[in-house]
Structure 1
Amino acid sequence: MVDAHQTFVIVGGGLAGAKAAETLRAEGFTGRVILICDERDHPYERPPLSKGYLLGKEERDSVFVHEPAWYAQAHIELHLGQPAVHLDPAAKTVRLGDGTLIAYDKLLLATGAEPRRLDVPGTGLAGVHHLRRLAHAERLRGVLASLGRDNGHLVIAGAGWIGLEVAAAARSYGAEVTVVEPAPTPLHGILGPELGGLFADLHREHGVRFHFGARLTEIVGQDGMVLAVHTDDGEEHPAHDVLAAIGAAPRTALAEQAGLDLVDREAGGGIAVDAALRTSDPYIYAAGDVAAADHPVLDGRLRVEHWANALNGGPAAAQAMLGRDVSYDRIPYFFSDQYDVGMEYSGYAPPGSYAQVVCRGDVAKREFIAFWLAADGRLLAGMNVNVWDVAESLQQLIRSGASLAPEALADPEVPLASLLP
């Protein structure tokens, strides 16, 4: 039974929002739970959109967090296809696009992120795509199949995780692929120069062409369709379709309008929250891609745009909303599958933050573990490539803050667990 003694509102129908709603009920909250989603689909997970579903290996229904009937059974009030357009912290109300006004006792912002747009001529052509939502993946899946049948060309702007995963999917359909990236290697801002080249080699072996050190300046077309792209170094690449994969921006408009504290874009952007995922308003919380949280272990503010953060951050915010003592200290984690290479990455080590990278295993065969070390020997991040069941040990080593000997990390005969203090 649901009583009206309290109303908790969740704005955002992604994984973080759905898992927060689930946690509220699992923890015995009997008040109203209202979940607001601007998409018409029920909450779903995003990794399959660039992996299994895009590849045609998973069915559409497999992406949903819960069966549609679950929400009614759990007494979760759904507002699908309705954006929240105004937040009034003083009145503690949210107004929806259709004018509906919803009062809350506590509110969770799980508004996620949206793809950054190419700011070049030609983005209005029919063959220009983004990949963030299920509708995008459905459309792109058909496009890749068509390109494969017709020997068509896909140009991808950006060699980050989304760009590379779509490149792998496109090649599996038989499409021609060119990736344009301003950095000198793929994933340069994540893996640095030491290991970015590994992924360039992997994709080249599967027929992907790279154009590094360049940006798109124009998409040219005829009769509304894409014909080619131009780059700032004067090159032209043939294209039938273009994917913009240049990152995502946190959806902070609602929080900004409400006067909540935000983080500057240069520092990662997002809604500023403490370790309990509480915003500058004590009745409003934030989780998932949009939240820039004080991290108790990594000693700084961090915004993480990965599946595991939504999976774990939503429930943590729900616990905090219930008055539990929460310190959200999960080590950032993500995974990727490209061709026959699977990898997991734990931690946070952008270029400039680490002193050296140490590898254990056979890098040439793409069966290894990479360790990003600080100058004092602390492990900042670890990536296992086609080596499994070590992510937990890597996270424990990061959490320990121990000074580690590079020789021990590089030696496959030394168990990782033995390096824990």
Structure 2
Amino acid sequence: MNAPASVLVVGASAAGLATAEALRRKGFKGRVQLLGAEAHLPYDRPPLSKQVLSGDWDPERARLRPEAMLSDMDIELTLGEAAVGLDAENRVVKTDRERELGADAIVIATGIRPRAFPGSTGIEGVHLLRTMEDALRLRTELLASRRLVVVGDGVLGAEIAATATGLCGEVTLVGPQPAPMELQLGSDVAKSLAELHTERGVDLRPGVGVDGLVETNGRVSGVRLATGEVLPADAVVVSIGSVPVTEWLAGSGLRIENGVVCDSQCLAAEGIWAVGDVARWHHVGLGRSLRLENRTNATEQAGAVAANILGEARPYTPVPYFWTDQFDAKIQVYGLPSGDGEAEVVEGDPHPANSREPRRFVLRYREDGRVSAIVGWNMPKQARLRRAEVADALV
């Protein structure tokens, strides 16, 4: 395929911006348009649940690039305008301002939105966290609250609970897993994370569902568990997963199944690619389709998509990676830990004999005789050096 003369990237968060920048970095001289639904300049999302929520960072510090830098790269940035439709055959995007934007190549980078708790719409004190406004509203709420309940024990829920301990009095983390982030970390590391949260004052309610929210005069006042217990709450954060932003693609002819379905090169249809949280592509190393919701994948996949737009035609076969910072723990995960995998400590000690010593360790997970993941806890260098073990297993 010949390189296109113009590229339209729909979505101006990390993955979309990284795609536009990668095109320029690789020497693309054609027109690059970047369309974003939010009015903000592109900003980073991982700090929202940590540095921005805690108040350590001003919102401006989370910006990915200053506007002048984007202008210098000749990237046409349109903000505050959302895509509402796609004519895939003619490669034309319709926007909520009744405009039609066309290009030789289109990149879908519209990301995800948080899943709301049923019946919670319109109740004051109930929060989701995805945007800068969400983080700032939640921070203001927590500074005036005594009791927070976080519903959802995945990455985002655990990070919010950890940050919130420095903002309000009582923090409770509720979720269906035996320990926070067990699906992402495996049971051994998740147990250590549960211990850390408990040590720092988070009230964990593991392995329990939520039946509903209790409302008093239009404001949330509690969370009703499946056991019948009601947890009092001045504020509630709902973090029960996310949904790819694909509604605007209805009728486009693209295959949508928990994301935009792509081939191994992230190609969804002729001249149309997907990147970042919204993309479900075929990982040839794993032999299955995969959709990753993390910052590292957004950047790495953007580079691969830009290269393929320019004709490299290479499969995207990354070693899945993400990190999370909670309290004084910095956790890195290479690969995909599984509850069925066998865990082995290869560096450090998850349970040092001296309780004053910080946890520092690296675990290796094996599944079907192959290394499936490396998980490091406060040992970033050692974990990174073992990344090759996961990469070798994907060949």
Residue aligning to 1:308: 296
How many Å separate the matches in 1 of 2:375 and 2:187?
15
Displacement of 1:256: 4.2
Residue aligning to 1:408: none
How many Å separate the matches in 2 of 1:202 and 1:317?
39
Identity over the aligned pairs, expressed in percent? Answer: 34
TM-score, length-scaled by structure 1: 0.88
Residue aligning to 1:211: 205
Residue aligning to 1:417: none
8 A contact 2:147–2:168 mirrored in 1? no
Unaligned segments of structure 2, at least 5 residues: 353-358
Q: Aligned to 1:171, which of 159, 165, 188? A: 165
Residue aligning to 1:271: 260
How many Å separate the matches in 2 of 1:175 and 1:314?
41
CA RMSD of aligned residues (A): 1.7
How many Å separate the matches in 2 of 1:199 and 1:92?
47
Residue aligning to 2:193: 199
8 A contact 1:255–1:271 mirrored in 2? no
How many Å separate the matches in 2 of 1:193 and 1:303?
22
Deviation above 4 Å: which 4+ runs of structure 1?
none
Residue aligning to 2:40: 41
Residue aligning to 1:369: 362
Structure 1 residues 22 and 122: alpha-carbon distance in aligned structure 2, compared to 1, 3 A threshold: closer
Residue aligning to 2:81: 82
Unaligned segments of structure 1, at least 5 residues: 264-268, 403-420
How many Å separate the matches in 2 of 1:243 and 1:28?
44
Displacement of 1:10: 0.4
How many Å separate the matches in 1 of 2:274 and 2:383?
27
Instruction: Please tell me the residue identity of whatever aligns with 1:272.
Output: V
| Partner SS state of residue 383, structure 1 | strand
Deviations 1:189-210 (CA, angstroms, capped at 9, x unpaired): 2223333221111111111111
| Partner SS state of residue 301, structure 2 | helix
How many Å separate the matches in 2 of 1:195 and 1:123?
35
Structure 1 residues 294 and 122: alpha-carbon distance in aligned structure 2, compared to 1, 3 A threshold: closer
Residue aligning to 2:149: 155
How many Å separate the matches in 2 of 1:122 and 1:106?
40
8 A contact 1:123–1:219 mirrored in 2? no
Residue aligning to 1:409: none
Structure 1 residues 375 and 29: alpha-carbon distance in aligned structure 2, compared to 1, 3 A threshold: closer
Residue aligning to 1:383: 375
Q: How many residues align?
A: 385
TM-score, length-scaled by structure 2: 0.93
Instruction: Please tell me the residue identity of whatever aligns with 1:349.
Output: P
Q: What does 1:59-70 correspond to in 2, within 5 Å?
A: 59-70=58-69
Residue aligning to 2:338: 350
Structure 1 residues 122 and 271: alpha-carbon distance in aligned structure 2, compared to 1, 3 A threshold: closer
Instruction: Please tell me the residue identity of whatever aligns with 2:253.
Output: G
How many Å separate the matches in 1 of 2:250 and 2:332?
34
| Partner SS state of residue 85, structure 2 | strand
Whether 1:133 and 2:119 are equivalent positions in the alignment is no
Residue aligning to 1:329: 317
